[in-house]
């Protein structure tokens, strides 16, 4: 049995801490998933997500991880011309793995870890051949790199491709203007910058992406965008029973974000925490793993420079914190500081002061 003593402060890039008021929403009574109450709940969530993302696109809610909606994007938005996946980290590589697993023609544009793809790199690759879609990771959690989508989308559109974006650790923390940036599929989960429980994924889907889906055979069943849209249009329903308790959480959190904090203020708070963290590591004689001009505002990846990250993780656990080491091949040489979700600058300062005491 899990006890209260098993819970510690999560300073990792997801899942993040969920506030008590959000957790309490999951204890509301269950409702029928074909009821008017469910319909109202779904439609209110969709409306607020459109406001948060600055879009009029179709909102899709999926009872799955974000990887499920990455697969939905691949199954529905890629046909005979295939897909170009931009790879600059461990999570970006998932796009290519999903393309291969679904039998989609796929090419890759590989960028050094710690860097973001440039407009010129993308342009040169897209001039080699035609594609149905381009896949980009907005925020690479493994390296702390935020790809500047607003600088790249025109290059994608100039080559008549759909733009598919993994925003898993960006949405709700990084600037996103879906319609202005002409993003066709923008997907994310709730357990990172949205500061909610995992289990529900969200996507904004353009008309162009839905039109592409009509031409693609074998879209599957669970992640068929046209089926999801049909049920959404049918009074805000879902084809299968959704994870209703997390709907309660999401509705509550969206109202807090949009009606109380304001999404642009939320972006600014993430930037403030990131800037403080970057200044802290410079004062400590440490360095960013990522290029500074593309450093993320939701997670900072640090070159450990001789710090024993395994020991630091153990010591921080004693202090009540769950620490994030580097990811994959950089597990021993990097560590990551997550400053996302409902975190405050004061909480970040206290955490960094604790690291100072231990190193």
Question: Measured on CA atoms in the order 154, 156, 161, 166, is the torsion positive or negative?
Answer: negative
Q: Is residue 4 over pLDDT 80?
A: no
Q: What is the C-alpha to C-alpha distance for residues 168 and 147, in angstroms, rounded to an integer? A: 13
- Tell me the longest C-alpha to C-alpha distance in the chain: 59
Quote the distance between the C-alpha of residue 83 and its chain's center. 20
* Mean per-residue pLDDT, 102-126: 98
Contact partners, residue 265, CB within 8 Å, separation at least 6:
none
Burial class of 45 by CB neighbour count within 10 A (0 to 12, 13 to 18, 19+): buried
Check whether the bond before 15 is cis (ω within 30° of 0): yes
Are β-strands 321-325 and 9-11 bridged in parallel, bridged antiparallel, or unpaired? parallel
Alpha helices, H only, the chain: 20-25, 36-53, 66-77, 93-101, 119-126, 149-158, 207-215, 225-233, 244-255, 263-283, 309-318, 345-358
- Predicted local confidence at residue 5, as pLDDT: 65
Domain 4-15+262-358 has CATH 3.50.50.60: no
Mean of per-residue pLDDT scores for the chain: 97
Q: What are phi and psi of 182, to 5 degrees?
A: 55, 45
* Mean per-residue pLDDT, 119-143: 98
Q: Is residue 243 over pLDDT 70?
A: yes
Neighbours of 224 (CB within 10 A): 18
Please state, in angstroms and as integers, the Cα–Cα distance from residue 356 to each residue in 80, 172, 349, following that order. 54, 29, 10
- Predicted local confidence at residue 230, as pLDDT: 95
Among residues 166, 214, 204, which one has the least CA distance to residue 182?
204
* Mean per-residue pLDDT, 184-205: 98
Please state, in angstroms and as integers, the Cα–Cα distance from residue 246 to each residue in 163, 197, 199, 312, following that order. 28, 7, 8, 34
Label residues 135-155 b or e (16+ Cβ within 10 Å = b).
bbbbbbbbbbbbbebeebbeb
- If pLDDT is split at 50, 70 and 90, which confidence band does 235 have? confident
> Is the pTM higher than 0.95?
yes
pLDDT digits (tens, 9 = 90+) for 32-48: 999 999 999 999 999 99
Among residues 137, 233, 114, which one has the least CA distance to residue 183?
137
Could you tell me which CATH class the domain 26-259 is placed in?
alpha beta
Q: What is the C-alpha to C-alpha distance for residues 102 and 220, in angstroms, rounded to an integer? A: 10
* Mean per-residue pLDDT, 243-247: 98
- If pLDDT is split at 50, 70 and 90, which confidence band does 1 have? confident
Angle at 265 between CA 261 and CA 268, to 5 degrees: 145
pLDDT digits (tens, 9 = 90+) for 262-285: 999 999 999 999 999 999 999 999
Residue ranges per domain, the chain? 4-15+262-358, 26-259
Integer-rounded Cα radius of gyration of the chain: 20
Specify whether the CB–CB gap between 237 and 38 falls below 8 A.
yes
Q: What is the C-alpha to C-alpha distance for residues 23 and 330, in angstroms, rounded to an integer? A: 33
Specify whether the CB–CB gap between 52 and 254 falls below 8 A.
yes
- Predicted local confidence at residue 20, as pLDDT: 97
Q: What is the C-alpha to C-alpha distance for residues 96 and 89, in angstroms, rounded to an integer? A: 12
Where residue 12 falls (left for φ over 0; alpha for ψ -120 to 50; beta otherwise) is beta
Percent over 90 (pLDDT), the chain: 96
Angle at 121 between CA 120 and CA 125, to 5 degrees: 115
pLDDT digits (tens, 9 = 90+) for 218-229: 999 999 999 999
Quote the distance between the C-alpha of residue 44 and its chain's center. 21
């Amino acid at each position: 049995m899990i006890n209260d003593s098993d819970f510690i402060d999560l300073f990792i890039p997801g899942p993040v801490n969920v506030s008590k008021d959000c957790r309490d929403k999951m204890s509301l009574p269950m409702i029928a998933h074909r009821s008017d109450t469910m319909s109202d709940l779904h439609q209110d969530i969709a409306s607020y997500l459109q406001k948060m993302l600055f879009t009029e696109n179709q909102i899709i809610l999926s009872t799955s991880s974000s990887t499920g909606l990455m697969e939905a994007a691949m199954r529905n938005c890629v046909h005979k011309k295939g897909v170009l996946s931009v790879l600059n980290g461990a999570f970006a590589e998932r796009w290519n793995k999903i393309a291969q697993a679904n039998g989609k023609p796929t090419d890759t544009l590989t960028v050094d870890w710690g860097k973001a793809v440039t407009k010129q790199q993308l342009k040169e690759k897209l001039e080699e051949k035609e594609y149905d879609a381009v896949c980009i990771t907005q925020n690479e959690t493994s390296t702390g790199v935020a790809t500047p989508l607003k600088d790249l989308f025109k290059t994608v559109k100039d080559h008549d491709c759909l733009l598919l974006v993994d925003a898993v650790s960006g949405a709700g923390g990084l600037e996103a203007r879906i319609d202005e940036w002409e993003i066709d599929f923008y997907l994310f989960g709730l357990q990172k910058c949205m500061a909610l429980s995992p289990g529900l994924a969200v996507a904004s889907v353009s008309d162009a992406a839905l039109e592409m889906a009509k031409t693609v055979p074998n879209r599957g069943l669970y992640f068929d965008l046209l089926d999801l849209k049909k049920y959404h249009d049918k009074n805000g329903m879902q084809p299968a029973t959704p994870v209703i308790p997390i709907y309660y959480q999401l509705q509550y959190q969206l109202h807090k974000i949009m009606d109380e904090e304001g999404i642009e203020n939320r972006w600014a708070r993430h930037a403030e925490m990131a800037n403080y963290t970057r200044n802290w590591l410079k004062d400590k004689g440490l360095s960013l793993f990522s290029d500074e001009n593309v450093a993320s505002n939701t997670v900072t990846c640090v070159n450990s420079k001789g710090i024993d990250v395994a020991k630091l993780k153990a010591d921080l656990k004693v202090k009540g914190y769950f620490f994030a080491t580097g990811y994959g091949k950089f597990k021993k040489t990097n560590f990551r500081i997550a400053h996302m979700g409902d975190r405050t600058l004061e909480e970040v300062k206290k955490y960094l002061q604790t690291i100072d005491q231990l190193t």
